[in-house]
Structure 1
Amino acid sequence: MLDLLRHLEREGFGGAPRALGFDDRGREVLTFVDGRSGARPAETDVGPVREGHRVWRDDVLVHLGGLLRAYHDAAATFPWTGREWQLEVRRPVETICHNDLSPGNVVFRAGVPVALIDWESAAPGPRAWDLGYAAWNWVPFSSEERCRAAGLPTSIAEKARRFRLLVDAYGVEADVGILRTGIERMRQYLDHLWTLVAEGSEWEVRLARRGVLDELAHEIAWVEDHAVALVES
């Protein structure tokens, strides 16, 4: 991970912590990235917020798309072969995917995303692996039923508009393939959660008992059913 961060610095990417080396206990030492995590945004950073659901401002999506593109371009030249990665390498390899672009791993300053943190899951893969997952989390892609229950906009056309904002800022056209890659990523995540349930992991067992994993499966199915409309509406 330190080698990747040093490469990003050499490539001029400013949206990541700097690698300082190791401390006397062998732990990696990074610079602190000043700002606020998207897991706990200021009220001015988001639009409607109901029961933990967020609708990020349009300019947040635009800045995130640009930040992700700058990262992917800088990471694309990283020499990745012959290295060990915590997650599997995904083909086609186009860059080093961050692999966890949830709001909690994005740092905000002045209300917009400026940096990415938590790099342990980074691994080689296609750009759409990150872009599809980012779209899922930030547009966000939630069923009409879930949005209605949270008092948020339910329109598929509005979700499609916000999806285009994100991918336009990244520099690609909205494509159903990006959504299908996001679906694959979320299925992988759900399978991982069920594996932890089977192993008796306390937190995941509680999630399963509360129906959270079944709700995620329902959300995945909803996005799959509406993938074309989410691109073309």
Structure 2
Amino acid sequence: MTEGNELRGGVNVVRRVGDAVHRPATAAAPAIHRLLRHLRDQGFEGAPEPLGFDAEGREVLSYVPGDVHEALPPDLRTPELLTSAAVLLRRLHDATTGFAPAPEDRWLLPPRSPAEVVCHGDTAPYNCVVREGRAVAFIDFDAAHPGPRVWDLAYAVYRFAPLHAPTNPDSYGTVAEQGRRAALFCRAYGRPADAELLDAAAERLRALIAFMRAEAERGSAAFQAHIAEGHVDLYETDIAYLAAHRADLLSAFAEE
């Protein structure tokens, strides 16, 4: 990309300038930059490096080369992609265990108990950098917040397996195939796919819906547009799908 190119962004306008990315800074930016620096200090390089702030107050991060997809295309719906994303998430979580949040830290999403790790908060193909068919980095840590591992893992599985209803445009595969992919992701992460995971996925989506509605009511044009485009309807349909096919998914988990 050439200098000054605008990159994709679901909520923010993000621009690449040379080897750096300039993004609007949220109130959580100072805490997130401390987190990203901590990850570097722990030897985890699967995230952008924080480079400070520019003259306009935008946060500046290193550009991570590779491909990012809104949803996984057919050629990336592979065991290699799934397992590499799961291992990367586990490494990220493990690297955050020594991070000490400060009293003044502000997070976009509220911390959840138990605060076992710092969750990425939005682990999905659209925030995953891919090179040669493998996940190599996660980007966009705006939604990072302390929480339990399963809270973050469940959302990642929802996005990567994916655990979507057939009416969701990003859905593919049968319920059984989705369940087996979810189990593969979890096994690569290092914990079983189980009922707790399904419960966490549904609760994570309910929390996302509540957050989107609250932001829209506060005047966020981006979230108002997302709701108008039917994003909340998709999530509510997916919650119902998880409940309706709970037994099928649990059975598929046991097969993998």
Gaps of 5+ in 1: 47-55
In 1, Cα distance between the equivalents of 2:106 and 2:150?
19
Question: Contact between 1:132 and 1:181, CA under 8 Å: does it hold in 2?
Answer: yes
Summarize the alignment of residues 56-135 of structure 1 with structure 2, pairs less than 5 Å apart: 56-86=77-107, 87-135=109-157
Per the TM alignment, residue 187 of structure 1 is displaced from its structure 2 partner at its CA by 0.9
Give the aligned partner of residue 178 of structure 1.
197
Partners of 1:117 and 1:183 in 2: CA distance: 24
% identity of equivalent residues: 36
Deviation at 1:215, TM superposition (A): 3.6
Whether the 8 Å contact between 2:164 and 2:170 is mirrored in structure 1 is: no
Q: Quick check: 1:176–1:228 contact (8 Å CA) kept in 2?
A: no
- Comparing 183-192 with 61-70, greater Cα deviation is found at 183-192
Structure 1 vs Structure 2 CA RMSD: 2.5
Q: Which has the higher contact order (CA 8 A, sep 6+)?
A: 1
Counterparts in 2 of 1:81 and 1:91: CA distance versus 1, 3 Å = farther
Listed as ranges, the matches of 1:1-233 within 5 Å are: 1-39=32-70, 45-46=75-76, 56-86=77-107, 87-143=109-165, 145-146=166-167, 152-153=172-173, 155-196=174-215, 204=223, 208=227, 211-233=230-252
Residue segments in structure 2 that go unaligned for 5+ positions in a row: 1-31
Greater helix content: 1
- Partner SS for 1:37: coil
1:20 counterpart SS class = strand
Alpha carbons 1:38, 1:104 under 8 Å: kept: yes
Taking structure 2 as the reference length, the TM-score comes to 0.76
| Aligned partner letter, 1:112 | R
**Partner amino acid for 1:33?**
V
SS at match of 2:88: helix
How far the C-alpha of 1:174 sits from its partner, in A, is 1.3
Q: Which moved more, 1:22-31 or 1:61-70?
A: 22-31
TM-score (norm 1): 0.83
- CA positional deviation for 1:202: 5.3
Compute the displacement of 1:173 (Å): 1.2
Using the TM superposition, give the Cα deviation of residue 179 of structure 1 relative to its aligned residue in structure 2, in angstroms.
1.6
1:20 and 1:208, CA in 2 relative to 1: closer, same or farther beyond 3 A? closer
Shift in Å at residue 159 of structure 1? 1.4
Moved more, 9-18 or 66-75: 9-18
CA distance in 2, matches of 1:215, 1:20: 36
